[in-house]
């Protein structure tokens, strides 16, 4: 069920402040996964719907929503982000320079 890796990923995602986003690779680095971003996406997919983890604040390195298997969830994610003040550009992209969570060199474990 919830492996240690998953819980570490969720712990990092929960640190993302409202109105900010983080990339999969960023989460992987902060969670000491060695930059294995795919596992972050996998963990998000396994996340139960009733979780309080702000999964919608996680986007890919291009600033786009990456959900392939659940296109409906992508719409939900977009609306949740817009509700937090994040403005989407063309092709449902967001400006990472403006909205990316600035974690600096602080690692979260």
Interface with DNA (CB under 7 A)? 3, 5-6, 23-26, 34, 36-42, 44-47, 55-56, 58, 60-62, 65-69, 73, 77
Q: How far apart are CA 108 and CA 83, in angstroms?
A: 26
Q: DSSP code of 47?
A: S
Host H or E run for residue 18:
none
Nearer to DNA by Cβ, of 5 and 11: the residue is: 5
Q: How far is CA 78 from the centre of its chain?
A: 12
CB of 44 vs DNA, minimal distance in Å: 3
27, 13 in Cβ contact below 8 A? yes
Query: In this structure, what token pair is assigned to residue 9?
Result: 């990923």
CB of 104 vs DNA, minimal distance in Å: 16
CB of 14 vs DNA, minimal distance in Å: 14
Nearer to DNA by Cβ, of 38 and 98: the residue is: 38
What are the φ and ψ backbone dihedral angles of 8, each rounded to 5 degrees? -70, -40
CB of 57 vs DNA, minimal distance in Å: 10
Nearer to DNA by Cβ, of 12 and 40: the residue is: 40
Q: How far apart are CA 37 and CA 55, in angstroms?
A: 14
Nearer to DNA by Cβ, of 15 and 36: the residue is: 36
């Amino acid at each position: 069920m919830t492996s240690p890796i998953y819980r570490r990923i969720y712990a990092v995602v929960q640190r993302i402040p409202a109105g900010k986003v983080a990339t999969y690779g960023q989460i992987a680095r902060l969670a000491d996964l060695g930059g294995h971003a795919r596992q972050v996406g996998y963990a998000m997919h396994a996340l139960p719907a009733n979780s309080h983890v702000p999964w919608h604040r996680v986007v890919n390195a291009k600033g786009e929503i990456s959900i392939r298997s659940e296109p409906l969830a992508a719409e939900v994610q977009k609306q949740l982000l817009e509700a937090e003040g994040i403005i989407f550009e063309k092709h449902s992209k967001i400006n990472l320079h403006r909205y990316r969570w600035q974690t600096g060199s602080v690692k979260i474990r």
